[in-house]
Amino acid sequence: MTKYLNEYNTATNAIWAAHKVQSDNRKLKFNNIKSCIAVVLVPNGAATMVGVHLTKGNLNPADMTRVMQELQAAAGTTACDAYLVSAWSHYEGSNLKKELKKITRSIQLCDLPKKSSNDADVDVKFELAGTRVMAYVREHVLPLKGPGGAQVPNPNYSKATAAPGKPNYLTDRDDAGKQWMSVSFRPLH
């Protein structure tokens, strides 16, 4: 089942499940990567991937230590490759690369162009087919608004069966300009 990753939060309450490190053997979706970063680890030869949606606020030493421990615990002891999708200039001077180098064998980056707001403003999707990692971005989808400006509820949404973090409202995802596009990576040295 697709896992939806929202901004990492250290709260341990179960309602924050989408705000934690998550793993899946098929698909991870990150909603609204603006000045945030999508981080995915793929253990060598494994049929799963582990991801976290970080913000610049998570770069403090306490959060960074906790995130790295959670990523490593979820990925296991096998050597991993890291895949990052963000407007990298937000993280270039941080300790993120240094910390990831401690737990991975390589780091691959998709450096997104910034929009006029100085952020990327995209949704990110990672898919795993066997041991092949594919990543896609699309312009961030927005909730459809009804009369009075309220979000239009999704009639097919069921809180009992929906994955944590899955939106319970309809979005403009079907707009022609908001289709998924594959991205490429370059090594981050």
Is pTM beyond 0.85? Reply is: yes
Rounded Cα–Cα distance for residues 161 and 18 (Å): 14
Q: Which segment, 56-60, 87-91, 102-106, is predicted with the most confidence on average?
A: 102-106
Provide the residue type at 15 as one letter.
Answer: I
Rounded Cα–Cα distance for residues 51 and 4 (Å): 10
**Is 148 exposed, middle or buried, given 0-12, 13-18 or 19+ CB atoms closer than 10 A?**
exposed
pLDDT at 23: 94
pLDDT at 12: 65
pLDDT at 151: 82
Confidence of residue 18 (pLDDT cuts 50, 70, 90): confident
For domain 3-187, give the fold: 60s Ribosomal Protein L30; Chain: A; (3.30.1330)
Cα-Cα-Cα-Cα torsion 70, 62, 103, 25, nearest 10 degrees, comes to 30
- pLDDT, tens digit, for every residue of 104-154? 999 999 999 887 676 778 899 999 988 789 999 998 877 788 888 888 888
